[in-house]
């Protein structure tokens, strides 16, 4: 073999090895941001708008923060359980004096119970709901080192359901609700064996799987080739949470559920594309409804069209509170 050919092959091999090493480093950093409980470094927070696919709406965020702060100031009862894998989980309970139903709410990725649900908390309480705002694992006061993008949290959801039924009885209608990753959590939980008093689910801007949302964010928002990183992401995810990002998804759960579901999504969501809710809706085998809110960005549907959102929930309760 000629010397030049050998040198060329060697150079190509070095280039491939170098690209693989760079890919692994990038993937490791992305997975750290996605899964690890540590607070995001300032340089990542600075570019969070890019990560989510849109510039933050300052006025909207200020309104959400104000509602969240007001909910926190109510000093709700803090309750605790242990997860299926021994992690300490925290929730905040707001009981009704004349309850008609119980609502379990799961917040989103790197968010909080008060910020995601402060805007609708008064509406739920005024309509006779006992409300449990759960803190997702590896976030805020709950324990755990890694977030699971619904793969782990679906089992946490089931443990909270058991706790609520022990407290209020299994005859009280119970609804699950979630925003973003919280919506994916409750949708994945719908594929588990749940008590009969779980009458419905409200899923606001949920994604279909960890793999799908990571691919979307990396390709569409960060403008990087995700397939180059996909295998490394699978391996790293498996090591950290004992699950791969594509081994389970919402559509798998929804094909096998009999729990009624109200899907909600805004048309201007650049973090979780509305097409994912369309996929979920199409896959759902149970009674289902769809509320699409024009011009609403990620997790902003309730603020953009409060009247239609509340009407949809009231009709949902009216139709399924007594469902057997």
* Residue 198 within a domain: yes
pLDDT at 58: 81
* Residue 151 within a domain: yes
Give 258-274 pLDDT, tens digit per residue: 999 999 999 999 999 99
* Residue 87 within a domain: yes
Give 195-207 pLDDT, tens digit per residue: 999 999 999 999 9
Both tokens assigned to 319: 């139709």
* Residue 239 within a domain: no
Q: How many residues does the chain have?
A: 324
pLDDT at 42: 58
Structurally, the chain folds into a number of domains equal to 1
Compute the average pLDDT of residues 10-35.
59
Work out the pLDDT band at 25, boundaries 50, 70, 90: confident
* Alpha helix ranges (H) inside 96-152: 113-126
3-state SS assignment for residue 173: coil
Q: Is the pLDDT of residue 247 over 90?
A: yes
Q: Is the pLDDT of residue 12 over 50?
A: no
Give 127-178 pLDDT, tens digit per residue: 999 999 999 999 999 999 999 999 999 999 999 999 999 999 999 999 999 9
Contact 280, 188 (CB under 8 A): no
* Residue 39 within a domain: no
Q: Is the pLDDT of residue 44 over 90?
A: no
Q: Strand 174-179 to strand 198-204: parallel, antiparallel, or no bridges (unpaired)?
A: parallel
Q: Is the pLDDT of residue 284 over 80?
A: yes
Q: Tell the residue number behind the tokens 């006061």, with chain if given.
A: 141
Phi, psi of 189 (to 5 degrees): -65, -25
Q: What is the CATH number of the domain that holds 291?
A: 3.40.50.1820
Compute the average pLDDT of residues 47-52.
50
Q: Is the pLDDT of residue 40 over 80?
A: no
3-state SS assignment for residue 201: strand
Q: Is the pLDDT of residue 216 over 80?
A: yes
> Count of alpha carbons within 13 Å of 171, Cβ hemisphere only?
0
Q: Is the pLDDT of residue 15 over 90?
A: no
Q: Is the pLDDT of residue 224 over 90?
A: no
* Residue 45 within a domain: no
* Residue 283 within a domain: yes
Q: Is the pLDDT of residue 6 over 70?
A: no
Both tokens assigned to 236: 């790293």
pLDDT at 191: 97
pLDDT at 55: 55
Burial class of 24 by CB neighbour count within 10 A (0 to 12, 13 to 18, 19+) = middle
* Residue 243 within a domain: no
- Domain, as residue range, for 144: 56-209+248-320
pLDDT at 43: 55
Q: Is the pLDDT of residue 13 over 80?
A: no
């Amino acid at each position: 073999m000629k010397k030049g050919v050998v040198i060329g092959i060697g150079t190509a091999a070095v280039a491939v090895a170098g690209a693989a090493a760079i890919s692994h480093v990038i993937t490791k950093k992305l997975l750290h941001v996605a899964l690890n409980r540590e607070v995001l470094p300032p340089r990542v927070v600075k570019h969070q708008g890019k990560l989510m696919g849109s510039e933050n709406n300052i006025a909207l965020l200020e309104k959400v923060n104000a509602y969240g702060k007001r909910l926190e100031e109510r000093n709700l009862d803090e309750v605790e359980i242990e997860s299926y894998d021994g992690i300490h989980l925290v929730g905040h309970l707001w009981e009704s004096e004349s309850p008609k139903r119980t609502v379990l709410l799961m917040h989103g990725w790197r968010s909080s119970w008060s910020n995601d649900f402060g805007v609708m908390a008064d509406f739920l309480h005024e309509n006779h709901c006992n409300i449990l705002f759960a803190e997702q694992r590896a976030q805020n006061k709950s324990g755990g080192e890694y977030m699971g993008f619904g793969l782990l949290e679906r089992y946490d959801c089931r443990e909270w359901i058991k706790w609520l039924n022990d407290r209020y009885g299994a005859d009280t209608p119970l609804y699950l609700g979630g925003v973003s990753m919280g919506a994916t959590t409750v949708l994945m939980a719908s594929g588990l064996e749940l008590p009969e008093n779980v009458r419905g689910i409200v899923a606001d801007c949920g994604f279909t799987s960890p793999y799908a949302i990571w691919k979307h964010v990396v390709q569409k928002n960060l403008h990087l080739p995700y397939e180059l990183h996909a295998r490394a992401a699978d391996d790293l995810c498996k090591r950290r949470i004992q699950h791969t990002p594509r081994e389970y998804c919402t559509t798998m759960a929804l094909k096998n559920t009999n729990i009624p579901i109200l899907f909600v999504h805004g048309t201007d969501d650049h973090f979780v594309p509305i097409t994912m809710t369309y996929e979920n809706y199409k896959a759902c085998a149970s009674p289902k409804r769809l509320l699409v809110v024009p011009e609403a960005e990620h997790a902003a549907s309730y603020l953009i069209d409060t009247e239609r959102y509340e009407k949809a929930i009231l009709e949902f309760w009216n139709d399924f509170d007594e469902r057997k």
